[in-house]
Structure 1
Amino acid sequence: MAFGDQPAYLRVADDLRKKIAAGELPPHARLPSQARIREEYGVSDTVALEARKVLMAEGLVEGRSGSGTYVRAQPVPRRVIRGGFHTAGETTPFRQEQTDDRITGTWEAESEQEEAGGEIAERLGSRWGSG
């Protein structure tokens, strides 16, 4: 497996993701155990756990308490919510994903204006709120 300079947990997650997409790990199939991932990919337990966390965050798999990690029947799309302060040069997970040419996504945005209630208008220092 030639993956370049990608961290080990992302290499493992990529390979498992490909197996899910190809149907080698079909819906409801149990993901290989942490020990099996460690043996198969020659990585540590920490790397195996982080790879599973990536797939969970992407909505491809779900953990079942005391039972293991399973491929979801239908992957659940995840909303990406931007938040927090990041200093210049610090990379966010959102930006990392956007620089990955293998990932394509959609963008939906929605906003609307409402009149601020009295308490909110006061907190914003606006004289235009109601109340």
Structure 2
Amino acid sequence: MTFGEQPAYLRVAGDLRKKIADGLLPPHTRLPSQARIREEYGVSDTVALEARKVLMAEGLVEGRSGSGTYVRERPVPRRVARSGYRPTGGATPFRQEQADGDAHGTWESRSEQAEASVAVAERLAIKPGDRVMCTRYVF
């Protein structure tokens, strides 16, 4: 492996991820077996297993005991109105929505450094352009 090249299991996981994103492996479809992945990509059983583990960790697939690994259905993100005001003991909008018996939610977050905009700098009492951590949540 040359410097900067991805390990084989990440390349296999990336290709399967792309197939899922492109709809070639739609929700509820069985992921190719470990033997099939090994044969198709010319990799070892360990590489095939690690690639499936990556996709499971990302929440794209789920293992079903004795049945195989299947592509998970991805919920369609929708905007949730937020309010900074919460009466004493009040719950976040996410928790309020989850109180409904039919709702089953999770969340994902992604953080990255960014330059503070004028509005953010004013709110945080810092200079515009200062580095801040920006976290986006998908509930």
Shift of the 17–65 alpha-carbon distance from structure 1 to 2, 3 Å rule, reads same
* 2:22 aligned partner, one-letter code: A
Corresponding residue for residue 56 of structure 2 = 56
* 2:59 aligned partner, one-letter code: G
Deviation per CA, 1:9-40: give whole Å up to 9, x if none.
00000000000000000000000000000000
* 2:52 aligned partner, one-letter code: R
* 2:136 aligned partner, one-letter code: W
CA distance in 2, matches of 1:52, 1:24: 17
The SS at the match of 2:62 is strand
Identity %: 81
The SS at the match of 1:54 is helix
State the 1:74 CA deviation.
1.6
Alignment of 1:3-22 (within 5 A): 5-22=5-22
Question: Structure 1 stretches (4+) deviating beyond 4 angstroms?
Answer: 78-81
Relative to its length, the structure with more strand (as a share) is 2
The SS at the match of 2:136 is coil
2:40 is the alignment partner of 1:43: no
CA distance in 2, matches of 1:23, 1:73: 11
Deviation per CA, 1:110-129: give whole Å up to 9, x if none.
xxxxxxxxxxxxxxxxxxxx
Q: TM-score, normalization: structure 2?
A: 0.53
State the 1:107 CA deviation.
3.1
CA distance in 1, matches of 2:56, 2:19: 15
State the 1:71 CA deviation.
0.2
CA distance in 2, matches of 1:80, 1:45: 30
Query: Which 5+ residue runs of structure 1 have no aligned equivalent?
Result: 82-93, 99-105, 109-131
2:136 is the alignment partner of 1:107: yes
Deviation per CA, 1:63-112: give whole Å up to 9, x if none.
0000000000126xx8679xxxxxxxxxxxx9xxx7xxxxxxx535xxxx
Q: Number of aligned pairs? A: 84
Deviation per CA, 1:42-65: give whole Å up to 9, x if none.
000000000000000000000000
2:97 is the alignment partner of 1:68: no
The SS at the match of 1:107 is strand
